[in-house]
Chain A
Amino acid sequence: QVLLQQSGPGLVKPSQTLSLTCAISGDSVSSQTSGWVWIRQSPSRGLEWLGRAYFRAYWFKDFAYFVDSRMTINADTSKNVFSMELKSVTPEDTAVYFCARDVSAAGYFDFWGQGTRVTVSS
């Protein structure tokens, strides 16, 4: 059984950086058969896939164009976690953020974190 435990602040000020971490148990962040994604959900925009990272001899990373220049995903193999940073946030980035496992980095999200409600407000 794979468990994903999210951590990070629920309130971020406009123009600052949103940082979230997803701790993995039951799988490895550097697994050659898994990928790791961030997805967010808001009433106005629904579910949005933000980006992914997966390891196949080296790290591959992809991002949605609408966050591409602002988002990074990193993996820490010593702690078996992956994290995201979203820079220069605005109120439009207010959402529930989920981490999830992407089976074979092929687009199937079979295990999810519990979600973190993030509000961007001063």
Chain B
Amino acid sequence: DIQMTQSPSSLSASETDRVTITCQASQAIGIYLNWYQQKPGKAPKLLISDASTLESGVPSRFNGSGSGTRFSLTINSLQPEDFGTYFCQQFHGLPYSFGQGTTLDFK
């Protein structure tokens, strides 16, 4: 199994801040990495695929980078609607696996 480890597990930030979430894979996965945002009581929403490709409709303040084993999601100029929990997910090999999540809330 490929284990995905996210850090931090939670963070608090203010509107217009820039935040970065990291995701580390237990083995090299190329760029087979997606990022999701989840709001309470809702299903996850695909934000970024292939480590850095923004999905249609996702604001350009979201930026994904990385390859191999280390990846990051940066949100520039945080907006109130960005609160929630963020997950990384590898699709290099079955079973696909997710990070444990990073909960972002506002100070």
Contacts and interface: CB of A to CB of B under 8 A. Distances in A.
Contacts of B43: 98, 100, 112-115
Interface string A27-53: 000000000000000000011110000
B101 interface: yes
Given A47-B87, A107-B34, A108-B34, A62 B44 contact: no
Interface string B14-39: 00000000000000000010101000
Interface in A60-89: 62, 64-66
Q: Interface residues of B toward A: which range?
A: 20 to 34
Instruction: Tell which of A48, A109, A110 has the most Cβ of chain B within 10 Å.
Output: A109
A57 interface: no
B65 interface: no
Pairs A-B, 4 closest by C-beta atoms: A107-B91, A112-B43, A47-B98, A64-B95
Interface of A: 46-49, 62, 64-66, 98, 100, 106-110, 112-115
